[in-house]
Structure 1
Amino acid sequence: MHDSHAWQAFSFVGAMMILVAYGGQQMKRMDPRSAAYNLLNIIGSGILCYSAFRPFNLGFVVLEGTWVLISVYAMMRNRRERPAD
């Protein structure tokens, strides 16, 4: 799968998820504290991090791995800060 069109499509989906979140936030259509925003970032950057292992690209692994960790942290923080109904 690594050299196929399917592999390219897989990484394209990851990039689009991050770009949808970013564009939505910039156009004030997505709240960066929302679960949807954070999930798009977590899944999208996770896909791209995974794809950076074949062929191995250290800079991209560090960038996307850090993006996953920060997005997970933000999601957990936002869940804790949410007022009880």
Structure 2
Amino acid sequence: MLNLQWFDFVGFVGVLLVLGAYAGQQMRKISGDGVMFPLINMLGAAGILVPIWYAEQMNWSVLFIETAWVAISAYGIWQAMSQRFAKPKA
């Protein structure tokens, strides 16, 4: 029997967010250049990290990839916002 805790559900939601963002980008519903794609990815990766902190044994590979995913997504958000608010060149 599965003994799921609240943090397991947060992790599942994170997985669904990452998969949804990827599917949306592949179906051309979400632009990879905008803010939405990296924002959804960052929230999803952060959600996946939650159950890692509560695990009895640390899964270092998941910790590493999801932390990297959050950092890369934050960079993507910064890039998209920088382009959005950049002053037009004369």
Quickly name the TM-score band, shorter chain normalised: 0.7 to 0.9
Task: Give the count of matched residue pairs.
Answer: 83
2:11–2:49 Cα contact (<8 Å) kept: no
C-alpha distance in structure 2 between counterparts of 1:69 and 1:22, whole Å: 17
For residue 79 of structure 2, what is the aligned residue in structure 1? 77
Do the aligned partners of 1:33 and 1:78 also contact (CA within 8 Å) in 2? yes
- TM-score calculated relative to the size of structure 1: 0.85
SS in 1 for 2:53: coil
Give the distance between the partners of 2:50 and 2:15, measured in 1 at CA: 12
| Cα deviation 1:25-78 (Å, max 9, x = unaligned) | 011111012222121111110111232223211000000000000000011011
- After TM superposition, which residue ranges in structure 1, 4 or more long, deviate above 6 angstroms? none
Identity value in percent: 25
Answer yes or no: is the 8 Å Cα contact 1:46–1:64 preserved in 2: yes
Asked if the contact 2:33–2:80 (Cα under 8 Å) also holds between the matched residues in 1, the reply is yes
Alignment of 1:53-68 (within 5 A): 53-55=53-55, 56-68=58-70
Q: Which runs of 5+ in 1 are unaligned?
A: none
Aligned to 1:19: 19
1:48 has 2:24 as partner: no
Q: Separation in 2 of the partners of 1:77 and 1:6?
A: 34
CA distance in 2, matches of 1:52, 1:30: 28
Larger radius of gyration: 2
C-alpha distance in 2, partners of 1:51/1:63?
Answer: 14
State the distance in 2 between where 1:46 and 1:7 align.
12
- Scaled by the length of structure 2, the TM-score of the pair is 0.81
